[in-house]
Amino acid sequence: MDQLMLRYEGKNFYEIPDGEITRMEGFKTLSENATPEEYSRKYVDRKSQTNDVVGYTTVLDFELDRFVGNAVHDDIVDLHEKKVVGVAARRNIYYVDFTQPSGDGYKAFMVPCSVVMSNKGNTAEAMTYSGSFKEAGETVFGIAKIATPANGNCDTVQTITFEESAESDI
């Protein structure tokens, strides 16, 4: 029987500069939007238009509840508070599909992104931050392995390692 893939079975990870590739916790929203770039033209010998997709721009919009002591949040908040710009505001975001085992890991990809912050403190309860991770480089496909905890699984995973692999396109 076809089985529904649940959102938590595809997890995102964040590469902390000089640190580990760490699970992104406390994110209420982390949705990926792909904006296609198209090439449309009309040939004189045809009645209808011809369209080709020639590229995509990927944007992940996010909203997080700030957790004190969370290394991913610490880095994102630092980028926001210091209004970091340019290459210094780029981070690698990973997506791991835990429904697709491959060897002793899982199919995954990494997208270099610019962290674009937009809002802070939108609620009266928790401190929230929101913004977007906007694609800033080529997507790299590979295999992710659970680094911590030892014998971890999709539920308990905290950090991963990532190895590029041409055969792992997902």
Do the beta carbons of residue 109 and residue 91 sit within 8 Å? no
Distance between CA atoms of 170 and 101, rounded to whole angstroms? 11
In the chain, which ranges are E strands? 10-15, 21-23, 27-41, 50-65, 90-102, 105-120, 128-135, 140-148, 159-164
Q: Give the one residue of 18, 45, 104, 155 binding other proteins; rule: CB under 8 A.
A: 155
Segment contacting other proteins (CB under 8 A): 35-43, 47-55, 113-121, 148-156?
148-156
Q: How far is residue 10 from each of residues 49, 85, 105, 107, 140, measured CA to CA in Å?
A: 38, 29, 13, 10, 17
* Rounded least distance, CB 141 to other proteins, Å: 21
* Residue 30 interacting with other proteins (CB under 8 A): yes
Q: Which stretch binds other proteins (CB under 8 A): 24-32, 35-43, 99-107, 131-139?
A: 24-32
**Spatial separation of the C-alpha atoms in residues 13 and 71, rounded to whole Å:** 12
Which of residues 149, 163, 164, 169 is near other proteins by CB under 8 A?
Answer: 149
Q: Which of residues 53-82 bind other proteins (CB under 8 A)?
A: 65, 67-69
- The reply on whether position 8 binds other proteins by CB under 8 A is yes
Comparing CA positions, the residue from 29, 33, 34, 78 lying closest to residue 53 is 34
Q: Residue 64 has which token pair? A: 């997080």
The only residue of 14, 15, 21, 27 in contact with other proteins, by rule CB under 8 A: 27
Out of 14, 15, 21, 23, the only residue in the binding site for other proteins (CB under 8 A) is 23
Q: Please say whether the beta carbons of 128 and 63 come within 8 A.
A: yes
* Residue (69 or 86) nearer to other proteins, CB: 69
Residues that bind other proteins (CB under 8 A): 6-9, 11-12, 23-30, 65, 67-69, 126, 149, 155-156
